[in-house]
Amino acid sequence: MKVIYGIDSPQIGAEPRVLTLGAYDGIHRGHQSLFDVVAEVAAETGGVSTALTFEPIPAEVFSRQGSHNIRLTLLDEKLEQLAAQNLDTVIVAQFDERFRNISARDFAQDIIKGKLNTQVLVASETHTFGRGGQADIHMIRQLGEELGFAVYILPLFTVDGGRHVSSSRIRQLLWQGCVQEAAELLGRPYSIRGRVVSGRGVGRQLGFPTANLQLPEAKLIPADGVYAAVARWEGCDEGAVAAGGIKGCPAAVSIGTSPTFGRLPRAVEVHIIGAEVELEGKSLEVHFIARLRGQRAFVDMKLLAAQIRQDLEDARGVLVDNRISLAYTSEGEE
């Protein structure tokens, strides 16, 4: 897969393209269905299968919270996922003030047809483009007829029960801690990746050493609580466990403000189950399999240690014994 940065890049060339465009945050199952059609049509027509995506994503630009805790996939993660989608080319356009204010007609004429030489545009039935989302599918079809590109409109991708798959829905699920439901929409467990930095050392004092994960501000962190997860890093035993289609090492992840210790800054702490490894300074990737419980405050260290032992046993049950449908409740959470 060829990656091109900038809509004005000379690398784009004049080849006829089969195009789909969007933020593609998460590369979820709905996105994947679009890419499948793009690849199929490109194979039939001889066009270059192409995805045009944006950086930053519009959700960051227009959200009240800005970039904080919103991205399902940072750019490097998104490109990794796109590389598995059988596309020839991905073009990363800068979503700046000039780009976001292009009218729908100018976007279709100057970019879709002009710069990209699009022969076929593939989009979902709710897709819009142009300043303020000016062009809906009806206007997109009309522009295609006028400018000479075909338009394939796909129905929204749904899962069991007719639930639509969208990045915004996945964000809401993760903010609520519903990682299993999010995985169903993504087509894989949700993951985070960061560098291990020195932490408070409380886990080690209790006999359960943890790796403190430093993450980019934009990366979405699931709701506070304790999770069963699969962890991966360079040199890890990828055959240790397999869960959710991910191979790696079994782990328990604690996310929160440590209310037992008086509410400290929010942290992501990872305990590798059944192994003592030195991870500080390394890049660690965590794939969330199930939420075990919410965050709680404990009156003393003895009770906290007992709960951690239970958390590790529950995590083993999920990751090793496939007891995936653990029920949890928010009762008593802080």
C-alpha to C-alpha distance for 35 and 179, rounded to whole angstroms: 24
Please, what is the Cα angle at 78 between 18 and 45, to 5 degrees?
Answer: 15
Q: Name which of 219, 226, 228 is nearest 260 in CA terms.
A: 226
C-alpha to C-alpha distance for 46 and 39, rounded to whole angstroms: 10
**More reliable by pLDDT, 304 or 93:** 93
Roughly how many angstroms between the first and final C-alpha of the chain, as a whole number?
A: 46
3-state secondary structure the chain: CEEEECCCCHHHCCCCEEEEECCCCCCCHHHHHHHHHHHHHHHHHCCEEEEEEEECCHHHHHCCCCCCCCECCCHHHHHHHHCCCCCCEEEEEECCHHHHCCCHHHHHHHHHHHHCCEEEEEEECCCCECHHHCECHHHHHHHHHHHCCEEEEECCCEEHHHEECCHHHHHHHHHCCCHHHHHHHHCCCCEEEEEEECCCCHHHHHCCCCEEEECCCCECCCCCEEEEEEEECCCCCCCCEEECCEEEEEEEEEEECCHHHCCCCCEEEEEECCCCCCCCCCEEEEEEEEEEECCCCCCCHHHHHHHHHHHHHHHHHHHCCCCCCCCCCCCCCC
**More reliable by pLDDT, 263 or 30:** 30
Q: Write the pLDDT tens digit of every residue in 275-318.
A: 888 899 999 999 999 999 998 888 788 888 899 999 999 999 99
C-alpha to C-alpha distance for 120 and 114, rounded to whole angstroms: 13
Q: Write the pLDDT tens digit of every residue in 142-175.
A: 999 999 999 999 999 998 878 899 999 999 999 9
CA pseudo-torsion sign 138, 27, 44, 14: positive
The whole-number average pLDDT for the span 97-125 is 96
What's the whole-model pTM score?
0.93
pLDDT at 329 (0 to 100) = 39
User: In percent, how much of the chain has pLDDT > 90?
Assistant: 76
Q: Write the pLDDT tens digit of every residue in 211-262.
A: 999 999 999 999 999 999 999 999 888 888 999 999 999 999 999 987 777 6
Domains of the chain: 2-162 (3.40.50.620), 182-319 (2.40.30.30)
Q: Hey, what are 93's tokens?
A: 């356009």
